[in-house]
């Protein structure tokens, strides 16, 4: 009898915990995402598009249910379908439905999907050894030439982070235009353009210090693809690169992290 009462209490506590977070119960690794991708391609892509950005049916990247609701609500929509609009229920075992939840989140929700696989501790060492700290702040220290990466995983999807490193010039973050300023006295200064108006131009130089010039001193301002060194990724082994991505994936702002019950590592 007592055992049953305790079992009941335990079960309610479990439900409460589950209800509060409504979180995906699958283990955090690459497998569920990979098999979710297969199911998605077969059962969803025809209506919502191969990349989930919409087709005949709306974009999942803009869906409240995908982006804002607890995982459990997203799960329920898939299991039940959306009657009346022609979205069929996703039949099959619950685990397979959770896999689709994990996959769709990994493509649509920056920092909210399952953690990127890899060893974040080893990735932190790669971050330091590859010289990233010279230009970027993480965990409260680093340089200011590049954007602060403290909450990067909440702002950018893991695919976008990967691209930023593999091909820095592909997409330059706003406010980080790289320039070379040529001066009348023959010198030139490289850095990030911070502000310019009719009278002056201000940048952060490669030395990390602010520089201001009056227009009269400046003979030319040339844009460069990105201040971030090209070819950084090709100097890393695939394993080092994966660990680096895992480390950056753990850079999620503290508030959001506790909201979704995310353990840093
Ligand atoms: C036959 C076409 C079709 C298929 C297949 C389909 N959907 Fe849908 N889905 C729709 C339509 C249409 C809606 C629009 C509902 C509305 O307008 O409220 C929808 C709505 C949704 C929503 C809710 C969007 C929101 O924010 O209201 C989600 C999430 C979703 N689908 C995910 C999926 C996933 C994941 C799959 C694959 C397991 C899938 N759908 C398969 C047609 C489809
Ligand atoms: C010489 C300075 C410099 C170094 C070294 C550097 N970066 Fe950057 N990084 C930048 C600048 C400047 C930007 C913004 C311009 C751009 O997007 O190209 C940037 C952008 C990024 C972004 C995109 C940020 C966003 O807000 O979207 C990521 C991610 C990133 N760097 C990661 C790294 C990693 C990882 C390393 C080390 C392997 C590294 N960076 C090394 C200067 C640097």
Report yes or no on 9 lying in a domain. no
Q: How many domains does the chain have?
A: 3
Residues 82 and 205 in one domain: no
pLDDT of residue 216 exceeding 90: yes
Residues 234 and 220 in one domain: no
| Ligand 2 and 152: CB distance under 6 A | yes
What value does the CA radius of gyration of the chain take, rounded to a whole number of Å?
A: 24
Report yes or no on 4 lying in a domain. no
Report yes or no on 241 lying in a domain. yes
Parent domain of 72: 24-108
Q: What is the pLDDT of residue 19?
A: 36
Q: What is the DSSP letter of 216?
A: G
pLDDT mean over 75-89 = 94
Distance (Å) from CA 161 to ligand 1 centroid: 28
Residues 192 and 220 in one domain: yes
Q: CATH number of the domain that 215 lies in?
A: 2.30.30.100
Q: What is the pLDDT of residue 195?
A: 92
Give the position of tokens 């979205």.
87
| Ligand 2 and 176: CB distance under 6 A | yes
pLDDT of residue 84 exceeding 70: yes
Of ligand 2's atoms, which has the minimum distance to the CA of residue 192?
12
State pLDDT tens for residues 162-184.
889 998 888 888 889 999 999 99
Residues 186 and 156 in one domain: no
pLDDT mean over 242-258 = 72
Residues 96 and 204 in one domain: no
Q: What is the DSSP letter of 116?
A: P
pLDDT mean over 13-27 = 51
pLDDT of residue 257 exceeding 80: no
| Ligand 1 and 86: CB distance under 6 A | yes
pLDDT of residue 264 exceeding 60: no
pLDDT band of 157, cuts 50, 70, 90 = confident
Residues 42 and 76 in one domain: yes
Angle (nearest 5°) at CA 159 between 226 and 37: 160
pLDDT band of 147, cuts 50, 70, 90 = very high
């Amino acid at each position: 009898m007592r055992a049953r009462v305790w079992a009941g209490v335990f079960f309610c506590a479990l439900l409460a915990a589950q209800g509060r977070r409504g979180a995906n119960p699958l283990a955090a690794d690459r497998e569920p995402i990979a098999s979710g991708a297969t199911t998605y391609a077969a059962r969803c892509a025809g209506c919502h598009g191969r990349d989930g950005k919409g087709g005949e049916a709306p974009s999942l990247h803009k869906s409240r249910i995908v982006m804002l609701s607890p995982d459990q609500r997203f799960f329920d929509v898939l299991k039940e379908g959306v009657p009346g609009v022609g979205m069929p229920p996703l039949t099959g075992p619950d685990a397979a439905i959770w896999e689709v939840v994990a996959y769709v989140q990994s493509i649509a929700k920056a920092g909210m999907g399952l953690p990127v696989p890899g060893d974040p501790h080893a990735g932190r060492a790669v971050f330091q050894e590859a010289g990233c700290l010279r230009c970027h702040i993480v965990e409260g220290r680093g340089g200011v030439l590049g954007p602060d990466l403290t909450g990067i995983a909440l702002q950018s999807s893991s695919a976008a982070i990967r691209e930023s490193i593999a091909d820095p010039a592909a997409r330059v973050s706003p406010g980080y235009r790289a320039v070379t300023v040529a001066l009348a006295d023959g010198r030139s200064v490289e850095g990030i353009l911070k502000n310019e108006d009719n009278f002056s131009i201000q940048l952060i130089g490669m030395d990390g210090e602010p520089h201001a010039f009056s227009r009269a001193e400046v003979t030319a301002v040339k844009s460069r693809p990105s201040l971030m060194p090209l070819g950084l990724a090709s100097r890393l082994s695939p394993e080092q690169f994966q660990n680096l991505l895992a480390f950056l994936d753990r850079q999620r702002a503290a508030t959001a992290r506790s909201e979704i019950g995310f353990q840093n590592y």
